Amino acid sequence: MNDSIMNGKARISDIIIKILIYISAGFSVILLIGIIGYVFIKGIGSVNFSFLTTVTSTLKKTVGIAGNIVNTLYIIVITLLIATPVGIGSAIYLNEYAKPGKLVRAIEFTTETLSGIPSIIFGLFGMVFFGNVMGFGYSILTGSLTLTIMVLPLITRNTQEALKTVPDSYRSGALGMGATKWYMIRTILLPSAMPGIITGVILAIGRIVGESAALLFTAGSGYLLPKSGMGFLTKIMESGGTLTIQLYLSMAKAEYSTAFGIAVVLLIIVLFINFLTKYLAKKFDVSKVD
């Protein structure tokens, strides 16, 4: 640099760059306010009681997303029922049992890879493997199994980070008192790591709620409510489109008021999940992993 720091020229370029920095940072904020504002203004009119509690009927000429809300809940519950224990188990193995070596590296590399694979690839794989090979077809089960693989890294990594923050003295203390390893994990480690695990699960819920590409060709686009009684069980094997899928389909059919109505519902869920993770992070003071 030939410029002296006293040179007025350098100061001007500093100011320009500073302005650019502020503009860039402001962009994100304005963008967010714009998105939320626009969606609410356009969509809040379509959200009312019957929109949330009935299903679309061409006969009665009414629009409703109750079926999609139920489908979303089904997929969240089934996915988490499988992914949470597997993710936690995997984290426990990596943190408590495994010795550093090729195997651990392979598991960590594949976990990283899984979190980098785009959802459309998961969708193709789920369609072929769970849909065709396993024979589940377009169903809520196929969609849930596909999403299980997708959210697995999220739960594994959050649990792992949480386990890492548990002091080693807890472990040696428990083992020294004669507890077996499994007993120690069950009664000491898991309760201490619970805030991290819960954060991982909530982040996974957020991911599932917003997911669309992985579900389009796995869970399909059914929008009806389950029939009562056994219908609640058989629904698992039927096609069921989530809120995001219905949004996409409405948008493709140019039914924009329905699309914006769903967008409002989705944004409210996303905002709620965001505040919930923030609240938990503050309450338990766990360093959050992304």
Partner 1 sequence: MENQQTFSIIGNRRNKSAVEKAAQGIFTLCAFIAILAVVSITVYMVINGTPALFSVGIKEILLGTSWKPTAAEPSYGILYVILTSIVGTTLAVLLGVPIGLLTAVFLAETAPKKLAAVVKPAVELLAGIPSVIYGLLGLMILNPLMYKLELALFKDSETHQFTGGANLLSAVIVLAIMILPTVINISESAIRAVPASLKSASLALGASEIQTIFKVIIPAAKSGIITAIVLGVGRAIGEAMAITLVSGSSVNMPLPFNSVRFLTTAIVAEMGYASGVHRQVLFTIGLVLFVFIMIINISLTGILKKGDKNHE
Distance, in Å, from the CA atom of 90 to the CA atom of 243, rounded to the nearest integer, reads 30
Q: Binding partner 1 by CB under 8 A: which of 66, 175, 236, 270?
A: 270
Q: Binding partner 1 by CB under 8 A: which of 41, 52, 77, 106?
A: 106
| Cβ atoms of 158 and 200 closer than 8 Å | yes
Nearest to 90 by CA among 105, 108, 75: 108
> With binding defined as CB under 8 A, does residue 119 bind partner 1?
yes
Q: Binding partner 1 by CB under 8 A: which of 120, 234, 268, 284?
A: 120
Place of tokens 């309760």: 191
**Residue 194-213 contact track with partner 1, rule CB under 8 A, x = bound:** ------------x--xxxxx
> With binding defined as CB under 8 A, does residue 149 bind partner 1?
yes
Nearest to 83 by CA among 138, 122, 38: 122
**Residue 218-237 contact track with partner 1, rule CB under 8 A, x = bound:** --------------------
Q: Binding partner 1 by CB under 8 A: which of 69, 78, 80, 185?
A: 185
Smallest gap from residue 209 Cβ to partner 1 (A): 7
Cβ closer to partner 1: 70 or 185? 185
- The secondary structure element, H or E, covering residue 29 is helix 8-43
> With binding defined as CB under 8 A, does residue 170 bind partner 1?
no
Place of tokens 């996974």: 204
- The gap from C-alpha 123 to its chain's centroid, in whole angstroms, comes to 15
What six digits make up the tokens of 87?
């993710």
What is the identity of the amino acid at 42?
A: K
Neighbours of 220 (CB within 10 A): 22
Cβ closer to partner 1: 39 or 76? 39
* Residues forming a β-bridge with 128: none
Smallest gap from residue 181 Cβ to partner 1 (A): 6
Please list every residue from 20 through 49 that binds partner 1, using CB under 8 A.
20-29, 31-32, 35, 38-39, 42
